[in-house]
Structure 1
Amino acid sequence: MQSCRLQGTGSELSTSCVPQRVLGTMLILYVLMGVSALATQPKERTVAAGNCQFRGKHFKTDFRVEGEPVVLRCPQMRSWLLASATPDVNLTWRRNDSAGLVPEEEERRVWVRDDALWILPAFRRDSGTYICTARNASYCDEMSVELRVFEKTEASLPFISYPQILTLSTSGPLVCPELSEFTHNKTDMKLQWYKDSVLLDQDNEKFLSVKGTARLLIYNVSVEDAGYYSCAMTFVHNGAQYNITRNIRLQVNKKEEETIPVIISPHQTILASLGSRLTIPCKVFLGAGTQSTTTLWWMANSTNIDRAYHGGRVSEGLRQEYSENNENYIEVPLIFDPVIREDLNTDFKCVVHNTLSFQMLRTTVKEAATFSWGIALAPLLLVFLVLGGIWMHRRWKRRVGKAYGLTALKTGQQGFPSYPSKGVK
């Protein structure tokens, strides 16, 4: 490259330096423009809406009361959170009967916060199917949520009530459900409980509203405690106060009674042929006791069957629960497919357990005597041989008797020959 030098006494540069200066300046500008382009490059676009995968309708329908706040959670966000600790996801909502996004015109009453759609307050016209769309740069999916808004009347109670169960003669809680969006500070939670629209007295020893929780404790549950309960609280948003009500339908079940189980089979010894398929039932008598709290299983040499036989040659069959003459039984069979010689030296045990008893019954498999046609037919063959010998003996005697008779007859005729008389000439 040609060098650039000063000429003369002035500070002017030689004209030979100008092309080099221009090229250097252009190179610097080009590099700066490239860096600027990289710095200002827009983010990668998200997946197009037409490429979204519809994952179906959420299993739970939201039933709400008119005039109260409604919060619809995006149902697929749980799977997104499990897949990534900080998912970069864009959420949008729309109604199934509308092409526009929600909210569109009612931003003051309907808005999106985090992964939830807020409707405050809800009206019956808000009933319908809402679709939540979640997308990022590489994936997009949709799920729908059903909302039903009812007028607050007794006729709507069966639809907007949450079923809960307590056991007779025990103590247990009712839980006011789905309040997490409105109770960020649980210490300030103030619930009022009603039974059949009548406010429960806090001094009543039967009911206790547990402070700071959404629970109502009922002592010594009776049949009369069944029915409809409601819990109510207030929620303040932008200076406006809203009522939030949840209805509960309490069902009281009888207490399940347990009895001491009795194993009535199998027998101590089971006969089987090697190579055959064998089923040994373990049958347990429970009387009037409950079946659900009694467990029944098999063991082989103090080891569970599924661990002792990984290949499944010996396995437990399906548990059967049934009643005969108003008495309960449970049964679990032990299945051999097939029986091998190793089973003859194994200690099998049927085990039953509940809160009142633990029992086991041992059984062993013995090889059954092998059936032989030769052994079975030997006596019959002997009989035929004896009868055949007798018959042949008698037949031989008859033939001998006839031969002797013929011989004697011939001998008698020769002993008396016919000679002519000497006096006759």
Structure 2
Amino acid sequence: MAGLLFICTYIVDASAFRIQRVESTGNGKDHTTYFKHYFALKGEPVILKCPSSEYKHLDFPYHPCNLTWSKNDSKMMNQGGDEERRIWAQGDALWFLPALLEDSGQYICTRRNSSYCADVSIHLTVIEKTAVHEISYHQILFTFTSGKLVCPDLGDFIQKETDLELKWYKDSVPLDEDNKKFKSLKGKNFLYISSVSSKDSGYYTCEMSFLYGRTQYNITRTIQLRTLEKRFGPVIVYPDQKTTLAALGSKLILPCKVFIGSSKHFHTFVTWLANDTYIDITYKQGRVTEGEYLEIVENDENYIEVPLIFDPVREMDFYTDFKCEAQNNHGRQVLPTRVKQGASSFPWHIAAIPVALICLILGGLCMQKCWKRRAGKGYAIAKL
């Protein structure tokens, strides 16, 4: 009976990714789930990409595999695009031209071959344009220097770099092209800001045009700029919330992402604490551990990321104070966070499977007994 049931739980967070791997289900297939959350503005194009580089252990690049898309684990998406379809799958991407509010939901792409099956769960939230600040990108520049404000996530829409031309706004007001402080060059995805000051902090919007077929769309990105003095300590940019929801018994990866600017990576120390004690001391059995120390470069700036891995989440974790600590020669920052129990995303129809199987088995046994009784009565009458 145990071999008949395969369970995969989902945990999603808007600012990070969490990975869960479920071992073989008895038929030789290995299932891996990767989570990423996309946000989009109503009426603008969106491209969801099915990640492949995360599956190095599956060895997909060396074995052909089929890729299919579904929404909320049921609706299959069309392959190939044309101007009449608003949503279609092409290669490893799912296109929305444009995205509407009702497109919000969970999209699953499945890579499958004769040896492996990998399910990729991507969540899309489409919001009204009036709520654009809710999905802003965070960037940091230093005062008394010059820097670049990068318009992110445009790569899939840029057909020719020479044709790229951005319009820039600050706090919804178009930037003056004659202002020597700000400079935007054709073919470049950034805004050059000279002599950055604290007054330059705020929300910036970059806008580009995207032509598909005979229809032209606008693509908008909003950036929240934060300015810092040149000499500064590490800045923890994630977790950006005081609590993270997790399902009991699930696997959770909670990254601590630290901005360090142009400083050298080996000068910054990043670690996790549980109740003001190092993780390997609090969790001696290794159920909760620190993951690999990662060095990341985004928008020409340096970050360090150290994940905290729960395998799996237990009830005691909901009563534990976790802290990410970052320290270098210029300063120290500690950011507390809590893991709270969230509603299990375990699908009700999966939970109903064992109940349905039991009902079928019991029903079958009852029917078998009834038929035996009827057969016995018929034999007795015939004998009389």
2:128 is matched with 151
Closer, same or farther: CA 257–163 of 1 in aligned 2, 3 Å: closer
Aligned-residue Cα RMSD (Å) equals 3.3
Shift of 1:51: 7.2
Cα distance in 1 for partners of 2:134, 2:218 equals 19
Cα distance in 1 for partners of 2:266, 2:153 equals 34
Q: Is the 8 A contact 1:65 1:160 kept in 2?
A: no
2:224 is matched with 249
Q: Is the 8 A contact 1:193 1:199 kept in 2?
A: yes
Shift of 1:78: 5.2
1:349 is matched with none
Q: Is the 8 A contact 1:294 1:354 kept in 2?
A: no
Closer, same or farther: CA 245–254 of 1 in aligned 2, 3 Å: same
Cα distance in 1 for partners of 2:227, 2:86 equals 40
Closer, same or farther: CA 207–55 of 1 in aligned 2, 3 Å: same
Q: Is the 8 A contact 2:41 2:132 kept in 1?
A: no
Closer, same or farther: CA 112–292 of 1 in aligned 2, 3 Å: closer
1:141 is matched with 118
Closer, same or farther: CA 90–206 of 1 in aligned 2, 3 Å: same
2:166 is matched with 191
Match of 2:44 among 53, 62, 68: 68
1:181 is matched with 156
1:124 is matched with 101
Q: Is the 8 A contact 2:151 2:189 kept in 1?
A: yes
2:22 is matched with none
Q: Is the 8 A contact 1:51 1:140 kept in 2?
A: no
Shift of 1:52: 5.7
1:91 is matched with 67
Shift of 1:84: 5.4
Q: Trace 1:220-299 onto structure 2 (pairs within 5 A).
A: 220-256=195-231
Closer, same or farther: CA 235–294 of 1 in aligned 2, 3 Å: closer
Deviations 1:332-377 (A, max 9, x none): xxxxxxxxxxxxxxxxxxxxx989xxxxxxxxxxxxxxxxxxxxxx
Q: Trace 1:20-419 onto structure 2 (pairs within 5 A).
A: 53-58=30-35, 60-76=36-52, 79=55, 83=59, 85=61, 87-96=63-72, 98-103=73-78, 108-153=85-130, 156-256=131-231
Cα distance in 1 for partners of 2:57, 2:154 equals 21
Cα distance in 2 for partners of 1:237, 1:143 equals 27
AA aligned opposite 2:115 = S
AA aligned opposite 1:148 = T
Q: TM-score, normalised by structure 1?
A: 0.46
Cα distance in 2 for partners of 1:52, 1:108 equals 34
- Give SS of 2:165's match: coil
Closer, same or farther: CA 51–157 of 1 in aligned 2, 3 Å: farther
Shift of 1:100: 2.3
AA aligned opposite 1:71 = I
Cα distance in 2 for partners of 1:294, 1:234 equals 42
Q: Is the 8 A contact 1:63 1:159 kept in 2?
A: no
Greater shift, 203-212 or 62-71, is seen at 203-212
Structure number with higher relative contact order (C-alpha < 8 Å, ≥ 6 residues apart): 2
Q: Is the 8 A contact 2:28 2:115 kept in 1?
A: no
Q: TM-score, normalised by structure 2?
A: 0.50
Closer, same or farther: CA 64–169 of 1 in aligned 2, 3 Å: same
1:41 is matched with none
Deviations 1:361-398 (A, max 9, x none): xxxxxxxxxxxxxxxxxxxxxxxxxxxxxxxxxxxxxx
- Give SS of 1:61's match: strand
Structure 2 unpaired stretches of 5+:
1-24, 234-262, 269-327, 331-384
Deviations 1:255-309 (A, max 9, x none): 2179xxxxxxxxxxxxxxxxxxxxxxxxxxxxxxxx999959xxxxxxxxxxxxx
Shift of 1:139: 1.6
Tell me which structure has the larger Cα radius of gyration: 1
Closer, same or farther: CA 70–293 of 1 in aligned 2, 3 Å: closer
Closer, same or farther: CA 145–135 of 1 in aligned 2, 3 Å: same
Closer, same or farther: CA 238–167 of 1 in aligned 2, 3 Å: same
Cα distance in 2 for partners of 1:136, 1:294 equals 42
Closer, same or farther: CA 57–169 of 1 in aligned 2, 3 Å: same
Deviations 1:93-118 (A, max 9, x none): 1112x5221239x9700111110000
Q: Is the 8 A contact 1:176 1:215 kept in 2?
A: yes
Name the count of aligned residue pairs. Answer: 215
AA aligned opposite 1:157 = V
Deviations 1:140-187 (A, max 9, x none): 11010111111001xx23321100001111111011111111103111
AA aligned opposite 1:100 = K
Closer, same or farther: CA 203–83 of 1 in aligned 2, 3 Å: farther
Structure 1 unpaired stretches of 5+:
1-47, 259-290, 297-352, 356-425
Cα distance in 2 for partners of 1:241, 1:292 equals 44
Cα distance in 1 for partners of 2:220, 2:122 equals 21
Cα distance in 2 for partners of 1:100, 1:150 equals 22
